[in-house]
A and B are shown apart, each in its own frame.
Chain A
Amino acid sequence: MSRITITVNGTPQTREVEDRTLLVQFIREHLGLTGTHVGCDTTQCGACTIHLDGVAVKSCTVLAVAADGSKVTTIEGLAEGGKLHDVQQAFREHHGLQCGYCTPGMIMASVDMIRRHDGMLDEHTVRHELEGNICRCTGYHNIVKAVLDAAEKHRAAHAVAAE
């Protein structure tokens, strides 16, 4: 057992965990944040994608103890003051989901993607970079539209900020 502290969505969370505890178990079972999903549990589907120190990772393949001292953002941490994050809003407007199971991971991966590319994305890049997220409803078309829309909003917001 180890005593670890991980800052999740801005709040430091200290828990006693078994060393074999996965980060996704820490998030879901120890903190009760069940927005992060476990799909395949084999590092392929991306449903468990969260941000670990600012980058998208698959939380089913990280030990919680190895994330001691880190900052984690989950899907629950994106909205601010009751207002959806632009990427969440875009998924809603474009119906970027069918059953919704992959959606939290898709959104966390998309937020990371838009930030890394500073919103400069085209359809080919979005499809390529969502390689690590699987939608078994095969609802990719609207997901891609949602990411492109959110990327455009990101560019517009930053262009305004730059003026």
Chain B
Amino acid sequence: MYATTYHKPKTLAEAVELYANSDEPSYLSGGHTLIPTLKSRLAAPAHLIDVRSIPELSGIEVTAERVIIGSATKHAVVAASKEIKTAIPALSGLAGSIGDVQVRHMGTIGGSTANNDPAADYPAAVLALDAIVHTDRREIPATDYFQGLYTTALEPGEILVHVEFKIPDIAGYAKFRNPASRYAMAASFVAKHRDGHIRVAITGAGNEGVFRWTEAEALLTGNFSAEALDGLTMDPSRMMGDMHAPADYRAHLVAVMTRRAVQNLGGTHIL
């Protein structure tokens, strides 16, 4: 890791100011993507601004309609929250399936959502649960938020404060993991919202990162069952391909995982 200077601001204003007045700054949350990146010298921020002591970034609030999670909340805390488990069990299960125990003790929802790794889990939930991403300066609907691999609507210096999920009628999450890295090779979050509209979000597979599979949403509207998806295939040209899984295999996995998500509503199916 190259030399860097660490800062631990106590307020949002202080953090934003530090960012604005520093050369080559980077925010740091759980650090479970950023620190490995720094160690391999793929990034070299001169200033690390640790956002975890900012009070607005912590806490979980569950209302009749919404689940609101502070961006510095760790995966293990989301997974263990009884309130979240009752409101959106698929979200709770998703958080409990990220990485491993030790990673879940450090990694945060804000870090995952801000980084937008194409194989990360949270972006699928954010997109399928019609979430609103709240920052220090505005509210961004999920559909506008994700803009491609590692790319989001966040401006330089903008801080993700909390994520507001809409509690659905029912939802399910199915994931097929890379057996070595445990990152998703294909995963599908399916949600039926209370007004009846369907969202299907795919992560781990798309060559432009997380995306809505609108063809699956259309078929599930009116016939919310795995059988409704019979015959539906994913176009491999939309898929990533690598040594672990070529694009046509990922396309196949996306269809299978979407069916499994529908077959496991109210929970998760992790392979």
Contacts and interface: CB of A to CB of B under 8 A. Distances in A.
| Mutual binders A and B | yes
Interface of A: 2, 18-20, 22, 41-44, 46, 49, 52, 55-58, 61-63, 65-66, 109, 112-113, 129, 131-133
A133 B102 CA distance: 9
Interface string B30-47: 011001101110000000
B140 to A, nearest CB: 28
Interface in B1-44: 1-6, 8, 28, 31-32, 35-36, 38-40
B100 to A, nearest CB: 3
A24 to B, nearest CB: 11
A57 B39 contact: no
A121 B102 CA distance: 18
Given A19-B4, A20-B4, A62 B35 contact: yes
B182 interface: yes
A133 B101 CA distance: 10
Contact of A65 (B6, B32, B38, B76): B6
Interface in B73-90: 76
Given A58-B103, A132-B101, A132-B102, A43 B6 contact: no
Nearest to B181: A44
Contacts of B2: 20
B48 interface: yes
B101 A112 contact: yes
B102 A20 contact: no
Contact of A57 (B3, B28, B38, B105): B105
Q: Which of A19, A49, A66, A129 has the most CB of B within 10 A?
A: A66
18 contacts: A18-B3, A20-B2, A22-B39, A42-B39, A42-B40, A43-B32, A43-B36, A43-B103, A56-B102, A57-B105, A57-B106, A61-B31, A66-B28, A66-B50, A66-B52, A129-B101, A131-B182, A132-B100
Contacts, number: 73
B141 interface: no
Contacts of A22: 1, 35, 39
Contacts of A129: 101
Nearest to B180: A44
Contacts of B105: 52, 55-57
A20 B47 CA distance: 11
A63 B181 CA distance: 23
B99 interface: yes
Nearest to A65: B6
Q: Name the 9 nearest CB pairs between A and B, nearest first.
A: A132-B100, A19-B6, A131-B100, A20-B1, A55-B105, A132-B102, A65-B6, A58-B102, A61-B35
Contact of B6 (A41, A42, A63, A112): A63
A62 B31 contact: yes
A33 to B, nearest CB: 18
Contacts of A49: 102
B3 A46 contact: no
A44 B183 CA distance: 12
Contact of A63 (B31, B36, B76): B31
Given A43-B36, A63-B6, A65-B6, A56 B101 contact: yes
A61 B36 CA distance: 7
A19 B100 CA distance: 26
Nearest to B32: A61
Contacts of B76: 55
Contacts of B39: 22, 41-42
A57 B102 contact: yes
Given A19-B5, A61-B106, 8 more contacts: A18-B3, A19-B4, A42-B39, A56-B101, A58-B103, A61-B32, A66-B31, A132-B99
Nearest to A129: B101
